[in-house]
């Protein structure tokens, strides 16, 4: 199963970029042995989208055809890290080819995006800046792969 992070905002030479790259690199090594391909990022330039609705439309255009949509939203389902790993395994075992994880901009995701999502996921009841959400998602994807691998990284 291929994973995609589709996010509003471009992250360049900042500490968040280094963290994201580190976790995605680790994921690629660990996830590959469990049928999870490298994670591809699709960044939406927020300067080209002048509203939450236009950001949502741009996000949906970035999603590969036929991909399952996992939208990160504060009103979504909260999962433990092992539950998230199990969720990814279920999607992989169903034969899902692509899953897109969607991260909105400063105003969150449009109703169109959340309405089309197959699953809403919350990283907790607090609202997080979208740059940090991308770091946290990258880390949780890597953590899920280590849980699948039985690695000692996740110490629960």
Q: Is residue 156 part of a domain?
A: no
Over the stretch 110-148, which tens digit does the pLDDT of each residue have? 999 999 999 999 999 998 998 999 999 999 999 999 999
Q: Is residue 154 part of a domain?
A: no
Q: Residue 17: give the domain boundaries.
A: 2-149
Output DSSP code: residue 51.
Answer: S
What CA–CA distances, in Å, run from 86 to 28, 57, 80, 92, 149?
18, 30, 10, 10, 12
* Statement: residue 88 has pLDDT above 90: yes
**What's the pTM?**
0.94
* Statement: residue 101 has pLDDT above 80: yes
C-alpha to C-alpha distance for 54 and 23, rounded to whole angstroms: 29
How many domains are there within the chain? 1
Query: pLDDT tier at 53 (50, 70, 90 boundaries)?
Result: very high
């Amino acid at each position: 199963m291929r994973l995609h992070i589709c996010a509003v905002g471009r992250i360049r030479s900042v500490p968040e970029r280094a963290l994201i790259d580190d976790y995605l690199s680790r994921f690629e090594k660990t996830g590959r042995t469990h049928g999870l391909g490298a994670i591809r990022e699709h960044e939406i330039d927020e300067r080209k989208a002048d509203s939450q609705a236009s950001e949502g439309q741009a996000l949906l255009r970035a999603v590969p055809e036929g991909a399952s949509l996992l939208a990160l939203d504060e009103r979504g389902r909260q999962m433990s890290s092992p539950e998230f790993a199990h969720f990814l395994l279920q999607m992989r075992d169903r034969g899902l080819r692509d899953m897109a994880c969607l991260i909105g901009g400063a105003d969150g995701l449009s109703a169109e995006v959340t309405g089309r999502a197959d699953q809403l996921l919350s990283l907790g009841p607090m609202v997080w800046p979208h740059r940090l959400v991308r770091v946290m998602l990258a880390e949780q994807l890597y953590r899920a792969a280590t849980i699948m691998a039985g690695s000692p990284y996740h110490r629960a």
